[in-house]
């Protein structure tokens, strides 16, 4: 059983959490409770605990201070934070400390408590060398137990899809490469992932971004559905680029590459080479090309081509100009070569792409 300690200065909140959650159904048991961080540390010194549910706003010792202190003394301990709407900057700080998940007190009655605990149990299992199995029923036959184990160990198609999405969001490409970002947004919206699970992933991803980019950019979760959650990550990305455009800092590599992406977008229609962009962000050409590929997932030339084709797609849809005019507008004097590149990326010729758009396909 996973031994849980509930830490909250609100006694009614502690008792409510203990009573409404289906702990035993997810191989968990509430081992104890504490009214503040100091009492929690005293309890941990005397009892074995696997998982802490921690309120972030407490007297004596805050939730973040407790997490920091407990991690030093008990490295194997894992944490879930309890929070209200206004505390999400603290949630992001907690994710940087490695917490498993967060639970919004304001939405607890609206959430599926079964899903919450199963999500937490699975995350905890994924962090351990050996997954934590659910408790088997004593009445089941050995054959039934073996079948259940085989079925459990085989990930469902939905879980496979989630793992792929999670892997893609954890890569840096979505931040630096708009083509990758828009594709990932479409895939995520089509996945029907529970919005709370998706927002938990976004918070972890944003913590990674904040580690690489010394900017303070706000992201607020608590979206009502997948589409609005994706719109919030889109706005977060947009705010990053707005701040990067204003920043004069060229010491952080990540900011240099983001500035390079902005510069490519502005200058893509003219002859542009890697050394031009490298000089713009005060980097050597070889180092720039190496880091650019690492962060965007594309070589400089491939990225420039994608950017030009993406702009061409917009011009084809928004204007009635000729294909030759569009080709020239995005930096290709040879319209036949442009059409060849366009077809390679879209499997449609420019005129076919425009016709398909106007048909609404």
What predicted TM-score, i.e. pTM, was given to this entire model?
0.55
Radius of gyration of the chain (CA): 25
| pLDDT value at residue 348 | 93
Q: Of the candidates 35, 57, 32, 34, which has an alpha carbon nearest to the alpha carbon of residue 47?
A: 32
Q: Reduce the DSSP state of residue 133 to 3 states and report it.
A: coil
| pLDDT value at residue 332 | 94
What does the pLDDT look like over 253-298, one tens digit per residue?
888 999 999 999 999 999 999 999 999 999 999 999 999 999 999 9
Q: CA-CA distance, 150 to 146, in Å (whole number)? A: 6
Exposed / middle / buried, residue 189 (Cβ in 10 Å: 0-12, 13-18, 19+) = middle
Q: CA-CA distance, 175 to 321, in Å (whole number)? A: 32
Q: CA-CA distance, 189 to 226, in Å (whole number)? A: 6
Sheet-wide strand order for 2-7: 28-34, 2-7, 51-55, 78-83, 101-104
User: Could you give the domains of the chain?
Assistant: 2-153 (3.40.50.2300), 160-298 (no CATH), 312-359 (1.10.10)
Long-range CB contact pairs, 10-14, < 8 A, 24+: 10/55, 11/35, 13/55, 13/82, 13/105
Give the model's confidence band at 57: pLDDT under 50 very low, under 70 low, under 90 confident, else very high: confident
What does the pLDDT look like over 299-339, one tens digit per residue?
999 999 999 999 999 999 999 999 999 999 999 999 999 99
Q: CA-CA distance, 83 to 92, in Å (whole number)? A: 11
Q: CA-CA distance, 8 to 332, in Å (whole number)? A: 63
Element (H, E) at 5: strand 2-7
Give the model's confidence band at 84: pLDDT under 50 very low, under 70 low, under 90 confident, else very high: low
What does the pLDDT look like over 87-146, one tens digit per residue?
556 666 667 777 888 887 766 654 567 888 888 888 887 766 444 444 444 344 444 444
Q: Reduce the DSSP state of residue 56 to 3 states and report it.
A: coil
Decide if pLDDT at 155 tops 70: no
Q: CA-CA distance, 203 to 95, in Å (whole number)? A: 7
């Amino acid at each position: 059983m996973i031994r849980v300690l509930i830490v909250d200065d609100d006694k009614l909140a502690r008792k409510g959490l203990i009573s409404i959650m289906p702990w035993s159904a997810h191989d968990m048991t509430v081992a104890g409770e504490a009214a503040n961080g100091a009492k929690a540390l005293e309890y941990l010194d005397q009892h074995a605990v696997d998982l802490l549910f921690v309120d972030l706003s407490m007297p004596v010792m805050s939730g973040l201070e407790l997490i920091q202190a407990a991690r030093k003394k008990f490295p194997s301990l894992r944490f879930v934070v309890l929070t209200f709407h206004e505390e999400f900057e603290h949630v992001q700080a907690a994710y940087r400390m490695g917490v498993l998940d967060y639970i919004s007190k304001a939405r607890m009655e609206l959430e599926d408590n079964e899903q919450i605990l199963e999500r937490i149990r699975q995350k905890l299992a994924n962090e351990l060398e050996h997954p934590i199995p659910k408790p088997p029923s004593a009445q089941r036959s050995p054959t039934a137990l073996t079948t259940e184990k085989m079925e459990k160990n085989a990930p469902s198609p939905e879980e496979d899809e989630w793992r792929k999405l999670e892997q893609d969001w954890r890569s840096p490409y979505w931040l630096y490469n708009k083509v990758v970002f828009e594709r990932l947004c479409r895939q995520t919206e089509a996945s029907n992932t529970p919005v709370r699970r998706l927002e938990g992933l976004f918070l972890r991803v944003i913590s990674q971004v904040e580690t690489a980019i010394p900017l303070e950019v706000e992201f607020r979760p608590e979206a009502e559905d997948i589409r609005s959650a994706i719109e919030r990550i889109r706005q977060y990305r947009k705010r990053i680029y707005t701040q990067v455009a204003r920043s004069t800092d060229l010491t952080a590599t990540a900011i240099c590459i983001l500035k390079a992406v902005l510069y490519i977008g502005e200058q893509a229609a003219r002859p542009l080479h890697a050394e031009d962009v490298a000089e713009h962000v005060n980097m050597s050409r070889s180092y720039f090309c190496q880091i650019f590929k690492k962060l965007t997932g594309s070589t400089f030339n491939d990225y420039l081509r994608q950017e030009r084709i993406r702009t061409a797609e917009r011009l084809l849809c928004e204007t009635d100009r000729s294909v030759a005019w569009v080709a020239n507008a995005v930096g290709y004097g040879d319209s036949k070569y442009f059409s060849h590149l366009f077809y390679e990326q879209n499997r449609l010729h420019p005129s076919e792409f425009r016709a398909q758009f106007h048909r609404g396909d």
